[in-house]
Structure 1
Amino acid sequence: MVQRWVLARLRNHRFFSLAELNRAIAGLIADINQRPFKKLQGNRREWFERLDQPALRPLPAQRYEIATFVRCVVNIDYHVEVDHHYYSAPHSLVRQPVYARLTRFGVEILHGGKRVAAHARSHLRNKHTTLPEHMPVAHRAHLEWTPGRLLNWGASVGPGAEAIVRHLLTNRPHPEMGYRACLGLLALARKYGRERLEAACQRALVVGSPTRRSVLSILKSGLDRQASLPIELTEWQSPEHENVRGPDYYH
C-alpha cells in the first residue's frame, strides 16, 4: 500500500539522479508516518516510538557481510577448490567434506560447524593459497629448500643429477615451479640410491629428456644398469646416390 501511494504521488515527476529520488521519497515517508490510522488510535510514528524503538539495539560496529556457502571436499593435496582457486585446509581433513564460506574479501573453511581455516579471497585462477601450518610435517620441510641448496644437492650426487636439477629450475617461468620435480629426485635417491640415480640422470640427458618422469622410467626399467648409450659426434654425410646431386652441382 505504501509503495502504491508513493508511486502515485511521484508519477508526474522526473528525477535525474538516485539521490534526488531518495530525497523525494524520504519526504513522503515522513508524511505517511504522521497520517492517522483509520481503525486504530495514533499513527505509525507514535506506535514505532512506543513499541519498537525501546526494543532496538545499537547497530554492530561492522557492516553485515553477505556470505554464500559452498560444499567442498578436501583434496589429497589438502586444498579445496573455490571459484577456480585453491585454498589450504588442515591436512588431517583430507577427503573430508567441508563448507567454504565466501564473502567479498575472505574465504573461511568450516568443518563440523567450526572454522578450521581462513584466507584472504583471491581471484587468480588455478593458483594456490597455502598456510604452512596446514602442511604435513614432510611438506613443511620442503619450504627450507632453495634453488641453491637443490643445485648443491644435485652436485653432491653427480654431474648428471646437477644438470637435470639446473634444467628443472631454469626452464620454467619461476624456479619455484621446478621445486616439486627436484624434490621428487630426492625421493628417488632415497629409494634407489645415489649411484643408480646418477646413472639414470646421465642416460636421461643422453636421450634428450631431462625430466623426473624420464629418470623414474629409466630406474623402474633398470636401464640405468645397462651400458651408456653411444653418442655420435661425427658430422652427417650425404650417401652416394645417382639422384643426389652433391655440392658441386650448385657451383
Structure 2
Amino acid sequence: MADYKVIMTLAIAGHSYDEIVAAAGCSRREVAAVKKTIAAYGFTAGQVSSMTPAEIAGLFPDGRKRVSEGYAQPDFGPVLAAMKANRHFTIQQAWGKYLASETGGGKKYGYSQYCALFAEHARVKDVVATLRHEPGRAMLVDWAGDTLEVVDAVTGEVTRLYLFVAVLPYSGAVFCRGFTDMKSPAWIAAHVAAFEFFGGVPQLVVPDNPTTATHRQQQGEAARVVNARYQQLADHYSTGIVPARVRKPRDKAAVESAVQVVNKRVIGYLAEEVWTVVDDLNAAIADRISEINETIRRADGSTRWERFAAEEAHLLQPLPDEGFDTVEWKQLKVGRNYHVSCDSQHYSVPYTYAGQLLRVRVTSTTVTVFDGDQVLCQHLRRQGRKGQYSTDVTHAPEQHQNIDGLWSRQWFLDRARGFGPATGKVIEQILDRHAIEAQAYLDCQNILETLGKRNKQRLEAACQVLLNNGHDAGSYSTIKRIMATIDSDTKRQKPPTPAAVTRKPVSGAGTAVHVRSAAHYQLGGQGAGA
C-alpha cells in the first residue's frame, strides 16, 4: 500500500510526478489522487506533517478492504509454523487446505492472491534479529557446492576442483582457493591459506559441521566436538572454533552469501574454459576474487577491501612466526627407477639408494626423504592427477642424464644406444631420412619397443647385418625380416640350406639304381616285356 503521507509531502514541496513515483514507490494514479485531494482541501506542509494515520486513511480509503470482507480470511500463523518445522511443506499445500476448510464462510482466494497475502504476512510477522558483526571477530568458512574441472593434457582424465570459501562478515572480504579433495589435509591447508590471505587471525572461526571439522564422541549423541587436528590448528593460531548450529542457516548466512557470489562470479566465469593445471586455475580464481574484493562497489559506495583495510585489518591477531602444517611420517622403499611412491605420486632419490627403505616426511607442500637423520632430498608435493613424477636429474645415473624429454630426437638416440652402436646408427639414419623428423618417431618407437623389447641382442645383430649390407636406413619390416633369419642362440644369420635333390639316395656302396626310360612304358615298345 502506498504511503500517502510521503506522497502528500513531496507533492506540496513541488516535486514532479516522476520524482514522486521514484521516491515513494507508488503509481502515477496515486500521485494524481493526492494532488486532487490537496487542491480540494488546500493542505499545507505543516498540516500534513501533523496528520495521524487514521486521518490519512480517511482521506484515501482502501477499496480493497471492502472487497476482502466478502472472502474467507486465511490463518497464516499455522502455515508459517509448518513451513519452519517441515522444509518440504509448500505454500500450495497450505492453499489446498484453505480451500478445503469450512470455517470463515465467504468466497475463497485464488492461488496467486493467497501467495501475495502470505508474503505480506511473512514480511510483517516473520521478522528476525539482524546479526551485528564486530570487525575482526569471526571468519566463516565452508565448501562451495559447485566445482570446477581440470583435464589432464596427456590422459584426458578429469579431476574435480572443490572450492573453499572464507569470509569476514563485517567487511565482506572473501577468500577462495581450489583443492582436489575435501579431506582433512586440504581443509587444514585451506584455513592456513585464508589466514595468510587476510594477513591475520580472527577471534573465532565458524565452520559448518563436516567430518573434517567435528565429530560425535558416541554414536547417536547430539553433542559434537572439534576434531583433534582441527583443534591443534586453532591452538597454533590462538583462535576458537565455534561450529554453526545444525539446521540453523542464519548462523552462517554471510558465508552462504559469499558462496553464492563465488558461484556466480568465479565458477560462472571460469567453468566455460578448459583447464589443464591446478595452479593455473587457482591463479585465475585469485584474479576473480581480487575483482570481487577490490573492484565491485556495494550499496554504500565502498568495496569490500576498502572497508577491510580501513576498519578490520588492524583488529586481526598477528600471524604466528611459524605457519601451521600437517606432518606425516612414512617408511617407503625406493624402486628400481630410484623413485619413492607417496600417495600415488613419485619422487626421485639418488639412484644408489634403489631397493632401500627410507624415512619420508610428508607435509601439505613438501616431501622430504631421510636416510637416518640425514636429509637426502626435498621435493614440492605433487597435487592433482595421480602418477606424476618429480625427478631431480642429478639423482639419475650418468647414462640416464641429459635426456631432452619424451618423443624427441635425443630421447630416441639415447634409448637406441642402450641396445648397441649398430642400433643407434640405424635409428639415427631413420631420423635423418625424413624431411619432417617427427614423422620418423613412430617407426623408431615400433623398432625399439616392439622388436627390441625382449630381443635386444637380436635387434643389435639385425641392425649390424643391415649396415654390413650397405643399406642407408632400414624400416620396421626390413629389420623384422632380418631378425627372423638370426638364430637366437648364436645371434648370427642361419647358414644357407641347400635345395632338395631329386636323385634317390644309394642303398649300398657302389650300387647304382637303374631307372627305366619313358619308352619302356609305351605300348608296343621294344622294352615292354623286359
Name the TM-score, length of structure 2 as normaliser: 0.25
Looking at secondary structure, tell me which structure has more helix per residue: 1
